[in-house]
Amino acid sequence: MDFGIYPPEINSGRKYTGPGPGPMLAAAQAWGILADELYTAASGYQWVVSELAEGTWSGPSSTAMRTAAEPYVEWLSATAARTQHAAAQARTATAA
C-alpha cells in the first residue's frame, strides 16, 4: 500500500470505515465451498470403502482396510463440520 498517493482525508476515511463486508463474505463463501467438498470427499470415500468391503473383497484384509479407513472418514466429516461452522461464523460477523 502506498498511502502517499491519496490525500490524508481519503486515507483516514479508509482506515475508519474499513473494507466493508465484502472480504468476510468471500471468506464465508470459501469456507462453505470447502465444507461441501470435504463432505463430498467423506461420503465418497465411505462409499468406496463400503463397496469394496461388502462386495468382491472379503476377509481379514478387507476388515483391516475398513478399520484403517474409518478414522480418516471421521476426520473428513469432523473437519467438514468445523469448516461449515467457520462459514456460519463469518456470515454472522458480516451482520454485526
pLDDT at 2: 79
Residue 37: inside a domain: yes
pTM exceeds cut of 0.75: yes
CB neighbours of residue 60 within 10 Å: 7
- Whole-number pLDDT of residue 79: 98
Residue 2 domain-assigned (yes or no): no
Could you tell me where the DSSP H helices lie in 1-96?
Answer: 8-17, 22-54, 60-95
% residues pLDDT > 90 (the chain) = 72
Give the pLDDT confidence of 35-65 residue by residue, as tens digits.
999 999 999 999 999 998 888 888 899 999 9
What domain count does the chain have? 1
CA 87/CA 33 separation, integer angstroms: 9
Instruction: Evaluate whether residue 6 is within a structural domain.
Output: no
pLDDT band at 17 (very low <50, low <70, confident <90, very high): confident
Residue 3 lies in a domain: no
What is the predicted pLDDT for the residue at 3? Answer: 82
C-alpha 25/C-alpha 96 separation (Å) is: 12
